[in-house]
Structure 1
Amino acid sequence: MAEIRVRNTNERITGEANVRAFLDKQEVLYEHWDASKLPAELQDKFVLNDEEKATILATFDAEIRDLAARRGYQIWDVISLSDATPNIDELLKKFEQIHTHTEDEIRGIVSGRGIFIIKGDEDTGYFDVELEAGDVISVPENKNHFFTLMDNREIIAVRLFIEKDGWIAHNVEDPAFAK
């Protein structure tokens, strides 16, 4: 279950109803998939071949197609990140730049953990959404954010896109952000 930390107050928000209410106010979609559907042999495997990625997509096909139909997504894939990922540190540096997109950035976490850091409304400022298996989040287009891994540095997520070329990051300098 996702948890939130508001950076300027260090307030923590827990519990599905509270998390959902907070994210709704910030115009961030939050849903939950049944991560226990993931085949046992893939639950803690963070280096995946194409067949294993296809198995993940097939496992969550109904959820993906439902979300795609409601929100206009055209394509989807699976991303897996861990210390075994080639050039993981360079890749994370790219992810950890504040940026926006011209379409929503959506992730369905099927294994592992990660954090989206998102700029909320003026009163809230930046907040962390700590995600784990089963959490589905969509950061709205043109909203400042970035993604990083948690201390375990392992995640598998389904990504959905509207544009066939996937999303393109537009880096943003924001003096309001403090790590």
Structure 2
Amino acid sequence: MAEIVIRNTNERITGEENVREFLNNQEVVYEHWNMEKLPAALQENFKLSDDDKKRILDIFDVEIRDLAARRGYKIWDVITLSESTPNIEDLLKKFEEVHTHSEDEIRAIVGGKGIFIIKGSDDVGYFNVELEPGDVISVPENTPHFFTLMENKQIIAVRLFIEENGWVATPVADPQFQ
């Protein structure tokens, strides 16, 4: 279950309803998928083949198509990152820069863990959303944020896009980011 850490106060928000309420107030979509549907072998394999990725998409087809219908997504894929990913440190440096997109950035975590760092309202500032399997989050377009991995550096996520070329990041130099 996702947890929130407000960066300027270190306040931690836990519990599905508390997390959902906080994110809703920040205009961030949060949902939760049933991970019992996904075999453990797929949740714990961070070197997925194309067939494995297709199987994950097939298993969550109903959830993906529901999200796509509600939010206008047209394409989706599965990404996996781990210590075995070539150039993982270079990728993480690229990910760990505050930026915006012209469309929502959505991830459904199906294995491992990750963190979205998002700029909230003026009274909140930046906050971390610590995600684990089953958590689905959509950061609104034009919202400063970035995504990175947690200390174990392992994640499997379904990503959905409106644009066929995926998200185009626009860097944001924000002196409020710490």
Q: TM-score range by the shorter chain?
A: over 0.9
CA apart distance, 1:58: 0.3
Corresponding pairs, count: 178
Q: Which residue of 2 aligns with 1:162?
A: 162
Larger CA deviation: 40-49 vs 12-21:
40-49
Q: Which residue of 2 aligns with 1:110?
A: 110
What amino acid is aligned across from residue 90 of structure 1 in structure 2?
A: D
2:10 maps to 1:27: no
CA apart distance, 1:40: 2.4
Q: 1:64 and 1:93 mapped to 2: Cα distance? A: 29
Q: Which residue of 1 aligns with 2:53?
A: 53
What amino acid is aligned across from residue 130 of structure 1 in structure 2?
A: E
Q: Which runs of 5+ in 2 are unaligned?
A: none
What amino acid is aligned across from residue 70 of structure 1 in structure 2?
A: R
2:18 maps to 1:3: no
Q: 1:41 and 1:129 mapped to 2: Cα distance? A: 26
TM-score normalised by length of structure 1: 0.99
Q: Which residue of 2 aligns with 1:137?
A: 137
CA contact under 8 A between 2:43 and 2:156: conserved in structure 1? no
Q: 2:24 and 2:130 mapped to 1: Cα distance? A: 16
What amino acid is aligned across from residue 176 of structure 2 in structure 1?
A: A
Q: Which residue of 2 aligns with 1:94?
A: 94
Q: Percent identity, aligned pairs only? A: 71
CA apart distance, 1:84: 0.5
CA apart distance, 1:39: 1.7
Larger CA deviation: 110-119 vs 30-39:
30-39
List 4+ stretches of structure 1 deviating above 2 A.
Answer: none
Q: 2:80 and 2:37 mapped to 1: Cα distance? A: 17
What amino acid is aligned across from residue 132 of structure 2 in structure 1?
A: E
What amino acid is aligned across from residue 66 of structure 1 in structure 2?
A: D
Q: 2:135 and 2:40 mapped to 1: Cα distance? A: 18
- Compute the RMSD of aligned alpha carbons: 0.5
Q: 1:40 and 1:141 mapped to 2: Cα distance? A: 33
